[in-house]
Amino acid sequence: MPLIVQKFGGSSVADSQKILAAARKAIRAQQEGNQVVMVVSAMGDTTDDLLELASQVNERPPAREMDMLLSTGEQVSVALMAMAVHSLGSKAISLTGGQIGIRTDSTHTKARIRSVSTDRMKKLLESGNIVIAAGFQGIDEDWNITTLGRGGSDTTAVALAAVLQADSCEIYTDVDGVYTTDPRVMPEARRMSRISYDEMLELASLGAGVMHNRAVEFGKKFNVPIHVRSSFTDVLGTMIVNEPEAPNVPVCGCAITKSEARITLVGVPDRPGSSLDIFSRLGKRAITVDMVVQNIGEDGKADISFTVPQDELRASLEAVQEAAHELGIERITHDDQVAKISVVGLGMAKQTGVADRMFRALAGAGVNIQMITTSEIKISVLVRRNEAQSALRAVHAAFELEREPAGAAKREQIVASSRPTAQNVVDVVQRLAGMDMEELFIDDISLDQSQARVTIRGVPDVPGIAAKVFEEVAAAKIFVDMIVQSYDGQEGQATLSFTVPKGKLSDAMTVAKKLASDFQCAGVSSSPDIAKLSVSGIGLRSHTGVAMRMFRSLSEAGINIGMINTSEVRVNVVVDGTHGEKGLASLQKAFADVLR
Ligand code: ASP
Ligand code: MG
């Protein structure tokens, strides 16, 4: 019999009428011939209210007791939901995380799921019950109640769907799907019919609040089709699966991250271990660093820029001041009036002419680009915060995101064709047997020696230059892989580096030299011999420290890092070409315990 998991978020169970409406949805699904597991969040703002209460009795409540408290929110919901199902004439049983057997580690308030027992749920389902599971909670080895972090009921839902090999996991919420950008910010945003796990992971980490990041990681790791849809209507929403909405679409969505701050370290000694020193100090303070950009060093010195959340600027500055002291860094500058604009799309990994389209749109809107970083499926730029809104609008329009892409299938068809295949199920069972469910999962460590680097120095900091450079490069049919533009120590200047296939280096240099002279840049240099080292897997974001492990391992091997880029599923670093093999070996050793 098909099995579906239906998750109802806090706003979908905010009062008794809504609880009854959710119960009706589950009963209907059961009457249509499915076994049904409901996963339920705490009612409305309950979790916030409980947090507030806790803070009234203790400024820093013990984490264990916090979990004891917060888990009660979900316990209220599941009991009421079971009563509601009974009142409508069907059978239901509510279960806490502990009663199901959701085992987690002991990291209170942000525990990770290790395993889930299916015995009890299966028995109850077979005897005709709707199983009503409390979201967001589990128990550790010693039976302490744990919670999974804010928004964690999504994660519970997808985890249950994974272990039960559910045919689908429906996430009922107060929005009716995933949009090309936040529709509250931009009314022209379009609701997608489908999005790939990788794209959703990127958008979720950029602040698209539709789904808990870890839930999407679960979906990807265990092949769970996730259907995000409205709890207040019956319309189909957005499927999160392996495939994108339509083949070859370069960009599926864009996002704005408003509260960023930039820090630049000028004159960092360009030697192995510098980045490690800096970023481990930030890591120790649990500061999430984003958009790391390192200039190619000159005279043994490099500049490193990165962004941090605006409210962590002060703590970050403390950390880098320590590093500056230790390493002998010349100067530290910062700016807390910046925002990040990103575009995401699986299709851009294989096409030319994506970056230039974004940069041209920004130039057209008169927006200056301060920094650029890219990954295989994401391009991010840093801009002035007061220009961010118009930047987002320009980018959304440039990629015609308001229009349904050609070749997109109908929603009914997408939903119907998203059930896992028999082979998927076999693979998942194998995966579940071999590991803790949320363990860091590295599936590839690789070395790419096919690329060369071009660097333009002293690029005047005015709108339109990046657009021009990448338009000309695209016109010459050169595929660009990595792009980084850093913010120079010298005000009003930037350094722009990008990588191209080795065979195209001289063509790319011709273009770069011509533009450098047209725009009075300081100079152009290149390296025909670079090596790109990549670590890819699932959980690179939620398991912080992957980049740190790479830095440490390369530093111990005496290898200097040139360029860096990171995404949810991959971290890439560029090193000197002569260090490729050695770097690969050191990374293989560093990740041996988690490589599958
Ligand atoms: N009730 C928890 C929270 O508000 C979990 C959830 O809603 O997913 O964060
Ligand atoms: Mg909630």
Measuring CA to CA, which residue among 369, 399, 391, 366 is closest to residue 382? 369
DSSP strand E in 9-52: where? 35-40
Is residue 558 within 8 A of residue 193, CB to CB? The reply is: no
**What's the CA-to-centroid distance between 154 and ligand 2, angstroms?**
10
Burial per residue of 76-108, b for 16 or more beta-carbon CB atoms within 10 angstroms, e otherwise: ebbebbbbbbeeeebebbbbbbbbbbbbbbeeb
**61-70, 232-241, 559-568, range with the lowest pLDDT:** 559-568
Domain ranges of the chain: 1-171, 255-403+444-590
The pTM score is 0.92
Phi, psi for 295 (deg, rounded to 5): -70, 150
* 453 SS3 class: strand
Is residue 530 within 8 A of residue 562, CB to CB? The reply is: yes
In CATH, the architecture of 255-403+444-590 is 2-Layer Sandwich (3.30)
User: For residue 498, what are the β-bridge partners?
Assistant: 454, 483
Six token digits for residue 448: 């790419």
Is the CB of 73 within 6 Å of ligand 1? Answer: yes
Is the CB of 44 within 6 Å of ligand 1? Answer: no
CATH number at 1-171: 3.40.1160.10
Is the CB of 10 within 6 Å of ligand 1? Answer: yes
What is the average pLDDT across 556-581? 88
What is the average pLDDT across 235-250? 94
**What's the CA-to-centroid distance between 195 and ligand 1, angstroms?**
24
Over the stretch 351-393, which tens digit does the pLDDT of each residue have?
888 999 999 999 999 999 999 999 889 999 999 999 999 999 9
Is the CB of 150 within 6 Å of ligand 1? Answer: yes
Is the CB of 97 within 6 Å of ligand 1? Answer: no
What distances in angstroms separate CA 248 from CA 200, 251, 361, 426, 460, one per listed residue?
Answer: 17, 9, 20, 30, 34
Nearest CA to ligand 1 atom 9: 150
Is residue 240 within 8 A of residue 178, CB to CB? The reply is: yes
HSE at residue 443, side-chain half, CA atoms within 13 A, is 7
* 67 SS3 class: helix
Is the CB of 41 within 6 Å of ligand 1? Answer: yes
What is the average pLDDT across 88-102? 98
Measuring CA to CA, which residue among 89, 67, 80 is closest to residue 38? 80
* 553 SS3 class: helix
**What's the CA-to-centroid distance between 136 and ligand 2, angstroms?**
9
Is the CB of 152 within 6 Å of ligand 1? Answer: yes
Inter-residue long-range contacts of 422-428, CB under 8 Å, 24+ positions, other chains counted: 424/223, 425/165, 427/223, 428/162, 428/165, 428/222, 428/223
Ligand 1: nearest atom to the Cα of 212: 8
Ligand 1: nearest atom to the Cα of 136: 5
Over the stretch 58-85, which tens digit does the pLDDT of each residue have?
999 999 999 999 999 999 999 999 999 9
- % of the chain with per-residue pLDDT over 90: 72
Distance between CA atoms of 297 and 457, rounded to whole angstroms? Answer: 11
Phi, psi for 20 (deg, rounded to 5): -65, -40
Counting ligands in written order, which one lies closest to the CA of residue 153? 1
Over the stretch 181-215, which tens digit does the pLDDT of each residue have?
999 889 999 999 999 999 999 998 887 778 888 99
Ligand 1: nearest atom to the Cα of 152: 8
Out of 66, 78, 81, 150, mutate this one to test ligand 1's pocket (max ligand atoms within 8 Å of CB): namely: 150
**10-24, 331-345, 497-511, 549-563, range with the lowest pLDDT:** 549-563
Same fold, 1-171 and 255-403+444-590: no
* 194 SS3 class: strand
Measuring CA to CA, which residue among 157, 143, 151, 135 is closest to residue 72? 135
